Amino acid sequence: MNMRNALQAMKPYTPGVLAPGKLKLSSNENPLGPSPKAMEAFQTSINNLHLYPDIAALQLRQALAAKHSMQPENFVVGNGSDEVLVILAATFLNPGDHVLVGKHTFSEYRFASTLMAAEVEAVAMNEGRFDCQTLQQAVREHTRAIFLCSPNNPTGTIIPAAELRSLLRKIPAEILIVLDAAYSEYIDDPSEAGYPFEKELLAKHANLIILHTFSKLYGLAGLRIGYSMASSTVSGMMERARQPFNVSLPAQAAAIAALSDEEFVQQSLRVNRAGKEQLYTFFRECGFAYIESQSNFICVHVHQDAQQLFLRIMEHGVTIRPLGSFGLPECIRVTIGTTAQNLQFMQAFRAACGL
Ligand SMILES: Cc1ncc(COP(=O)(O)O)c(C=O)c1O
């Protein structure tokens, strides 16, 4: 048996390491656990596990529509936003299409595009930031999609709203722009975030798809649920490539409940803000440069082989993410935890660095 040519070039995903008994600060999960309301809804849903879930996830899409002041037809749900990425690639990419991604960004844009035999070009970034001018200059005749990530995993930087607006105006309307906003709720600067902003962009640009996930702020990574927002026309096209019943019944129930758990959301944001300051202070004291983060993780330049440092930190009980697979071999990414988890990380980091 021969596998398809496109798959020959694909590398397996490098996940955050899950080491039993170690504190996991390697996958940007919510340190508070799942939303209590989501857990309750999950428990209730188990009585119906013999039934298929709603094929259209209508109640969930209605809840999302209410949250974003849009219509259910603007949303496509997936088994994690990872699956939504594959759905959109399957909907819009043909073999040989040219696709632009950032040089230091989430690997699934490359995965989904390569799976469809598209040709992926990684565009240089500027100190961890997307450079909209460079992106625009990289557009070619057969460019079909541009993948943006804001806040960017793993650097935590955002594309300022003004730059994004300008990029969207300049890119031809036939080119799809995917804005992965998996971490957007964590953006501290209110003028740079928010749903009215997304709605406004979507109304103006029919080639824009925005992605969100329940894996981070809502604490549901284990259930696998994410979604896209786009025009009803684009969403309708994506629906053709979506598997029926792709989001499980407990995942739909938990996500609806999580959306209503404002207390949990606010608590998660408070913990994140406090933890970010705690870790900033620590890295400054230790003399390590970090990139200011608009997210729930921090990218730190460690001036040594990050893979080796990662292994030593793990020996001291904590897993973080070495960023070699993101093209940053001397950087690590640490998920912001609770105060106690951050202290545990600091101890492990000091010991691993011999400080
Ligand atoms: C930028 C970004 N997008 C998407 C995802 C995947 O989200 P999901 O768990 O919904 O598949 C991640 C997960 O780490 C991510 O960092």
- Taking CA atoms, 264 is separated from 224, 267, 268, in Å, by 19, 5, 6
Per-residue pLDDT of the chain (355 residues; tens, 9 = 90+): 889 998 887 888 777 777 889 999 999 999 999 999 999 999 999 999 999 999 999 999 999 999 999 999 999 999 999 999 999 999 999 999 999 999 999 999 999 999 999 999 999 999 999 999 999 999 999 999 999 999 999 999 999 999 999 999 999 999 999 999 999 999 998 778 777 789 999 999 999 999 999 999 999 999 999 999 999 999 999 999 999 999 999 999 999 999 999 999 999 999 999 999 999 999 999 999 999 999 999 999 999 999 999 999 999 999 999 999 999 999 999 999 999 999 999 999 999 999 9
> What's the gap in Å between 85 CA and the centre of ligand 1?
10
> What's the gap in Å between 82 CA and the centre of ligand 1?
6
For ligand 1, atom 3, name the residue with the nearest CA.
Answer: 182
> What's the gap in Å between 323 CA and the centre of ligand 1?
16
> What's the gap in Å between 270 CA and the centre of ligand 1?
21
Q: Is the CB of 182 under 6 A from ligand 1?
A: yes
> What's the gap in Å between 152 CA and the centre of ligand 1?
11
Q: Is the CB of 215 under 6 A from ligand 1?
A: yes
For ligand 1, atom 2, name the residue with the nearest CA.
Answer: 182
Q: Is the CB of 28 under 6 A from ligand 1?
A: yes
Which atom number of ligand 1 is nearest to the Cα of residue 83? 11
Structure confidence at residue 257 (pLDDT): 98
Q: Is the CB of 349 under 6 A from ligand 1?
A: no
Structure confidence at residue 72 (pLDDT): 98
Q: Is the CB of 82 under 6 A from ligand 1?
A: yes
Read off the pTM: 0.97
> What's the gap in Å between 354 CA and the centre of ligand 1?
33
For ligand 1, atom 12, name the residue with the nearest CA.
Answer: 182
